[in-house]
Structure 1
Amino acid sequence: MLQARDERTLLRCGTAGAVLFVAAFLVIGSLRSGYDPLRHPVSSLAIGSLGWTQAVNFCISGVLVTSFAFGVRSVLLRLGGDWWIPGLIIAIGVGLIGAGFFTTDPVGGYPAGEEFEVTATGVLHQVFSAGVFLGLPAASGLLGRLFWSTKHPWWAAYCFVTAVIFLVGLVLSVLGFAQVPDFQPHAGLYQRIALCVGFGWLLLISLFLRSARFSRAFSVRVRTA
C-alpha cells in the first residue's frame, strides 16, 4: 500500500498530464502553418521539422498518465476495486508514449502535398493510439459503475456521460479521417471534442480522488461496511 503522500503525488500526475496534453496540442495546432485544427488530427502535429514538440507532448503526458494509474490503483484497493480501471489508464499512458515514438502517416491533406501512404511506423502509431481511444471510454464506464456501487451517483453519471460523448466524437472523427464527405471538414474538431472531454474526465477524477469530500465519503463507507 502506498503512503498517503506518495498516493497524492501520483494522483496529481493525472491533473498535470491531462492539462499538459490538451493545452499543448491546442497551442501547437494554432501555431502550425498549413495545419487546420478543424480538419486535421492531433497526431499530424508530430509530422515535420517541428513535429518533435507534439512527440514530446505525447511522451511526457503518457508518463504522467501512467503514473496517475498507480495512484488510482492505491485508492481502488481501499474501495474493493481491481486492476481493470488502473490497467486501462496504464493503456492510455502507454498509448500516448507509443504515439510519441511512432509518427502517424499523413492524412487529410496535411502536410500539404504529402500523399497518404501506409507505413510500419504509421501502423504502430495507430496500434498505440487505440490504447488511448479505447482505454478512455472503457475506464470511464467501469469507474462509473464503481462509483454507482459505492453511492456516488453524480460522479457515476458523469463517468457514463463522458464515455458516451467520447465514443460519439471518436466515431465522427474516424468517419471524417476516412474521407467521408459529410464529416471530413470537421474531423479534427470531433476528435478534439472527444479528447477534451476524455482528458477533462482524467483531470476531474484526479482532483476528486484526492479531495476532502471523497475522503469523508470513503470514511463513512468504511465505518458502515
Structure 2
Amino acid sequence: MTQTLSARPHADRTSSTSGSAARGLMAGAVVAGPLFLAAGIAQGLVRDGFDFGRNAISQLALGEAGWIQTANFLAAGALLIAGAVGLRRTLGGGVGGTWGPALVGVFGASFWAAALFPADGGAGFPAGAPATTAMSGHGLAHMLAGTVGYLALCAALVVLARPLAAGGHRGWAVASRLVPAAVLAGFMASAVSVLAFTAGAGLGVVWLAAVTARLAMTPARR
C-alpha cells in the first residue's frame, strides 16, 4: 500500500512533465504561421519591386536577399512539424489525434519542399525577371508543394474540429470546419487576385495557430 502511494506522485510528476513537453512542442505550430506571415510582410514592404497586389510571398525567396525567405520557409516547416509531434502526444489516438497531427506534419514538410524548389519570378519581381508565362521545373514543384500543403492544412482543420468539439469548444469546431472553405476560395480567386491567395493562405495558418493554442490549453483525447 505504501509503495503504491509513493509511486503515484512520481507517476503524476512524469505525466505532468510529459504534458509540459508536448505543449512546448505544440507552441511550434502556434507561432509558425504568424511568424512566417510577419517575416513575409516585413520583407515585402522593403524589397524593391515587390507588390502584394501582383507578387506572391513565395517570390521573396528570389534575388539577392532571397535567402531570408528561404530561411523563413525552413523555420516555419520545422516549427510546424514540432507542433505536429506535440499535437499527437497531447491528443492521443482516434481520428483527430492521429490524422490531425499527421496532416499538420505534411503541411510543415511542404514548407521545406517550397524552400528546396523556389517559385518562378514574374510580375516585375525580382527586377529583371523575364516576362514569360512558361513555368520552370522548380516552379512547378513549388506550386505542387504548396497545393499539397494547403490541402493538408484544410483537411487538418476539419479533422481537428473533432477534438475541439469533444473538449466543449463547439463554436471553435464549427469555425474550424468553415475556415478551409475560405482558404480554398482564396486559392480559386488567385487567378484574378494574388492578394486573395495570400489572404486565404494567411487565414489558414493563423487559424491553425489559434486551434493549436486552444487544444494546448484544454486538450481532448479523441
TM over 0.5: yes
TM-score normalised by the chain length of structure 1: 0.82
Residues in 2 aligned to 1:198 and 1:80: alpha-carbon distance in whole angstroms: 21
**Residue in 2 that maps onto 1:206:** 212
How large is the RMSD of aligned CA atoms in angstroms? 2.3
Residues in 1 aligned to 2:122 and 2:153: alpha-carbon distance in whole angstroms: 23
Distance 1:3 1:80, change over 3 A: farther
Structure 1 counterpart SS, 2:135: coil
**Match of residue 121, structure 1, among 124, 127, 138:** 138
**Match of residue 54, structure 1, among 51, 58, 69:** 69
Q: Give CA-to-partner distance per residue, 1:111-149, whole Å, 9 cap, x none.
A: 344233322221221222123221111111122244345
**Residue in 2 that maps onto 1:141:** 158
**Residue in 2 that maps onto 1:14:** 29
- 1:43 to 2:58 alignment: yes
Residues in 2 aligned to 1:80 and 1:91: alpha-carbon distance in whole angstroms: 16
Q: How does 1:1-225 map to 2 (within 5 A)?
A: 3-77=18-92, 81-113=96-128, 114-116=130-132, 117-148=134-165, 151-173=168-190, 175=191, 183=192, 187-211=193-217, 214-215=218-219, 218=220
Larger radius of gyration: 2
TM-score normalised by the chain length of structure 2: 0.83
Any conservation in 1 of the 2:19–2:90 contact (CA below 8 Å)? no
Q: Give CA-to-partner distance per residue, 1:59-116, whole Å, 9 cap, x none.
A: 0011000110111111221666442211110111000111112111123342344233
Structure 2 counterpart SS, 1:83: helix
Name whichever of 63-72 and 124-133 sits farther off: 124-133
Residues in 1 aligned to 2:98 and 2:85: alpha-carbon distance in whole angstroms: 10
| Cα distance, 1:25 vs structure 2 | 0.5
State the one-letter code of the partner of 2:185: V
Distance 1:118 1:71, change over 3 A: same
Identity %: 28
Count of residues in Structure 1 that have an aligned counterpart in Structure 2: 205
State the one-letter code of the partner of 1:191: F
Residues in 2 aligned to 1:32 and 1:136: alpha-carbon distance in whole angstroms: 29
State the one-letter code of the partner of 1:15: V
| Cα distance, 1:20 vs structure 2 | 1.2
Any conservation in 2 of the 1:65–1:90 contact (CA below 8 Å)? yes
Residues in 2 aligned to 1:201 and 1:60: alpha-carbon distance in whole angstroms: 19
Where structure 1 has 5 or more consecutive residues not aligned to the other structure, the ranges are: 176-182
| Cα distance, 1:15 vs structure 2 | 1.7
Residues in 2 aligned to 1:190 and 1:50: alpha-carbon distance in whole angstroms: 25
Where structure 2 has 5 or more consecutive residues not aligned to the other structure, the ranges are: 1-14
